[in-house]
Amino acid sequence: MTRQALTGARIFDGTRFHENSTLLIADGKIEAIVPAGEIAGDCQQIDLAGGTLAPGFIDAQVNGGGGRMLNDEPSPQSMYMIAEGHRPFGTTSLLPTLITDAEGAVEKAISSAAEAVLAGRGVAGLHLEGPHLAPSRKGTHLAKYMRPLEAADVELLSSAVPEVGTLVVTLAGEQVTPAQVNQLTNAGVIVCLGHTDTDAGRAQQLFDAGARGVTHLFNAMSGLGHRQPGLVGAALDHPDAWGGIIADGHHVDPLVLRVALRAKRGPGRLFFVTDSMSLVGQERDHFTLNGRTIWRKQGGYCSRLALDDGTLAGSDLDMASAVRFGVSYLDLSLGEALRMASAYPADFLRLNDRGRLLQGMRADLVHLGEDLQVRQTWLGGAVSEQTS
């Protein structure tokens, strides 16, 4: 048995902090958290020399990273490149995300994800954001490929779950029926509402039918009004609805996010997603998606990505930056910010083997310095990236 003892850092187990403690890892899984100096048996001891050791971050919406967009080539290799591009920023599990594309792209992405998940390289499933979205809320997606969900789509997505494991599908309320949502959720698909003008009443029906949450709360959806609550109001009020938020200072004003965090009725919660594009981990100032140039614009908390007409096109955010944003701008304690990057996404995605440092769980870890910059990550107990 290969055993490691990580000591010298404050340990956050997903619920609380442990001071003067040691994390024991055996064969890639969490063995225990014990008081410092009480290490039983032979093991490799590693002194982290300060900072915070926490569960690795989990990102449910990642369009690209490391110089690659999934839509450019929905292959296992693209998925590995994206995962490796985000690992220096503390993300140890992610869902590569395919946005609306031409016929055949979904099938290829499903096949690739089935292979990539088995490889154990940080790909935890697949997120299909389209093509069943509303053209009125297209954002950077191409409306010409958008269409209603059909029986054949329900069969394809349902049959993909045993292969992919964790499958998130973003659907517009205009393009789907409650019966279809119920079929998908009964098959194990995680249904999210997004890119939609659906009203609160329709959204509540879809949540009651099994829709689990919303994709990037506030963005590309009907907003919260005092007489028309919209999808935003329904998501905040429905107890079972979860919601990803893009905490980059561009997609949603921090004041609005603070209000949403206080307003969210549980047990469903809000959690961080990046919605990131290929430039994460890169120094280039632009890339091309579906024949259109997307530019990196400097300024603000982090740079933003936009089309020539100014339309936001995903984000330039990484999860470690989202955690720092949460602490600095959203009035979150460090513990809650870390939960929004690990424990809550794990709960939303039903990834029961990660997101917390409990006995038997995967030893997917991130070590943060006092400045909350990533020092190191571990994937299944193996050191994955040294960044400082």
Q: Which residues are the active-site residues?
A: 275
**Which residue type occupies 21?**
S
The answer to whether 31 and 47 are in contact (CB under 8 A) is no
Rounded-to-integer distance, Cα 200 and Cα 52, Å: 41
* Cβ burial 35-56 (10 Å sphere, 16+ → b, else e): eeeebeeebeebebeebbbbbb
Q: In this structure, what are the phi and psi dihedrals at residue 292, rounded to the nearest 5 degrees?
A: -115, 140
User: ω before 131 within 30° of 0 (cis)?
Assistant: yes
If one counts every other C-beta atom within 10 angstroms of the C-beta of residue 193, the result is 28
Residue position matching structure tokens 């690795």: 56
Rounded-to-integer distance, Cα 90 and Cα 377, Å: 6
Rounded-to-integer distance, Cα 185 and Cα 171, Å: 13
Residue position matching structure tokens 């954001």: 129
Rounded-to-integer distance, Cα 193 and Cα 61, Å: 13
CA angle 376, 382, 388 (to 5 degrees): 20
